[in-house]
Amino acid sequence: MRGLFGIVGLLLTLAIIGVLAKKQMTSVTTVSPPAGFASAPAGATVQQQSQLIQQQVKQSVENSLQQKHPMPDDQ
């Protein structure tokens, strides 16, 4: 009898975990870009959003490298 309750409890736990995992897998949301970056067009895949963010970061780094910065005086 004790073994039967153990198996039923195990199956019940497995069923609950399965339902929660299915809900988690179907509720995938789109990734929002960091603040200061343009958002991807509606319906864009995660890969497209990632590529857009990578391009924007690259442009930002290139722009900051091209800006002239004042050099401190050597003492």
Closest to 58 (Cα-Cα) out of 37, 42, 41, 39: 37
Residue 38 pLDDT > 70: no
* For the chain, the helix, strand and coil percentages under 3-state DSSP, each to the nearest 5: 60, 0, 40
Rg of the chain over all Cα atoms, to the nearest angstrom: 26
Position 67 scores a pLDDT of: 79
Residue 64 pLDDT > 90: no
pTM strictly above 0.75: no
- For 29-49, b/e burial (b = at least 16 CB within 10 A) is eeeeeeeeeeebeeeeeeeeb
Position 45 scores a pLDDT of: 84
**For range 32-61, the mean pLDDT:** 78
- Taking a C-beta distance cutoff of 8 angstroms, is the pair 33, 50 a contact? no
